[in-house]
Chain A
Amino acid sequence: MTIRILGIETSCDETAISVVEDGVHILSNVIASQFEIHAQYGGIYPEMASRAHIKAIVPVAKQALCQAHLGWQDLTAIAVTYGPGLPGSLLTGLNFAKGAALSCDLPLIPVNHLEGHLYAHWLQTGVAGAADGRLEFPLLALIVSGGHTELILMREHGNYEYLGGTLDDAAGEAFDKVARMLELGYPGGPAIEESAQQGNPRAFNLPRAWLPGTYDFSFSGLKTAVLRTLKRQLGPRSPRQTADMAASFQASVVEVLAEKTIQAAQEYETSAILLSGGVSANMALRRAARARTSVPVYALPPVLCTDNGAMIAAAGTWRYQAGVRADWELDIEPGLSWA
């Protein structure tokens, strides 16, 4: 029997709802981005985020069903992110999911947002470099975004081991902060990547925090080094210097991320590496990882790197098949991590 799951994702600044069939076929993937709302803050602004979710969620859900040519009665279940994320944002999605599940008499499936980022790799994309579900365990996943930088060992469905993560700033956060220092705008990831294309990655000698013997990361020292270097420069910064700094900073982040990910993949002898999260859209990161290993490195189309409902529906499908159901007491868990 065909399983059609509506996936609802509102953990941060995207109101995203999607219908996925059998955990792999994306029937619709609607995302109302709050980019313009948050650009003026140089990052997410929680109060504005939850207000925007409330406004967007009903139209986004309608559009997701409409694009899939389905009605509520055609769905098998509703999957929803219950953590980690911003409390106000999570609540909007969860309450909407509960209401819809209750009124349509559908099972409610709780999904961990981070797990969703892994299951995005089971979706059919038809894009070069994507796994499209052709995966064998064990797998090594790097989740890199504005809020997360984590290395996860996935031994089988639903079985995760946290190998390490950032001790201070998330990689995406470092991109945002350095973009702000260089006056390149928000979000920092794409802005730095674009500027870096014109720059020399060896122009500035920036530190790399290797933290040997661990799979942890630290980007705070790098951020400070960029600031110190910029302060030492006299006079106005030329576009060339900005591009050189963007390139040098990006090289430092990418090198550490790629190198440690490959080390972990080797140590745990994984069959492939999965890159997930907004920062995984960075082409320099993909190139650096692929250049260092013969193990396949899978990456996603940009729309599935950042937060989306399809990945929640995909993870929800697996959980649905495993018999996971939420009761009406399900609450948000803003600090949820790996079980």
Chain B
Amino acid sequence: MLISDAQTFEFISRSPKQTRRLGARLGALVQGGDVIALEGELGAGKTLFAQGLGRGWGASTRLISPSYVLVRRHERPQDAQKIYHIDLYRLNTLGEIIDLGLEELFEAVQSICVVEWANRAPDIFPTDHLWVEFHWLDEYRRSLIFRATGERHTVLLRKYHKDLIGK
């Protein structure tokens, strides 16, 4: 049974294209200061979702995997907001993760943080955030579970839910 309440809902994506579209719909709603945490194993669709999010937001550059450089910054033409696409995949200790300077990025009002492998350091996230879990169902299908905590992201999630489901 699908989970759905004010702060949580589950959505089944039936294809990589749909996962990207789901990201794009969220991208159209995010604003500076938002923190989106992505959790799921390799190949679950996190980067695809982040790419869609970047496109929906209007990034002038494609969001490619940040695993190698850990952080990639993206801009859009219309304002000074930025997306920081972050990957904690390779990091092992909390100290290494803190050294990345994420806390500053989380607090910056102009920056949207999209963090892959967020489960490597769940404690560094501000209490107000949107957490997305990706589960592998079969070769094409993935379950995406969205959990909002805090007022700001609960509002964001409600808008997103309405946008997707129409209610």
Chain A: residues with CB nearer than 8 A to chain B?
40-47, 86, 146-147, 166-170, 172-173, 176-177, 181, 220-221, 223-224, 227-228, 334-335, 337
Contact = CB atoms under 8 A, between A and B. Distances in A.
A147 B73 contact: no
Given A41-B90, A45-B96, A168-B47, A147 B62 contact: no
B71 interface: yes
Nearest to B67: A173
Given A41-B91, A43-B90, A334-B73, A169 B67 contact: yes
Contacts of A146: 68
A168 B73 contact: no
Given A41-B90, A334-B73, A335-B73, A46 B68 contact: no
B69 A177 contact: no
Contacts of A181: 42
Given A41-B90, A177-B42, A224-B42, A168 B64 contact: yes
Contact of B96 (A41, A167, A173, A177): A41
B70 A147 contact: no
B65 A169 contact: yes
Given A41-B96, A335-B73, A227 B65 contact: no
B92 interface: yes
B98 to A, nearest CB: 10
Given A166-B64, A169-B64, A170-B64, A44 B43 contact: no
A176 B68 contact: yes
A157 B73 CA distance: 30
A172 B41 CA distance: 20
Most buried by B among A169, A173, A220: A220
B69 A147 contact: yes
B43 A170 contact: no
Contacts of B15: none
Interface in B69-101: 69-74, 90-92, 96, 99-100
A173 B73 contact: no
Contacts of B70: 44-46
B90 A223 contact: no
Contacts of A40: 92
Contacts of A220: 43, 47-48, 65
Interface in B94-118: 96, 99-100
B62 A41 contact: no
Given A45-B70, A46-B100, A220-B43, A168 B65 contact: yes
A338 to B, nearest CB: 12
A41 B92 contact: yes
Given A45-B70, A46-B69, A176-B68, 12 more contacts: A41-B96, A45-B90, A45-B96, A47-B96, A47-B99, A173-B65, A177-B42, A220-B48, A224-B43, A227-B43, A335-B61, A337-B61
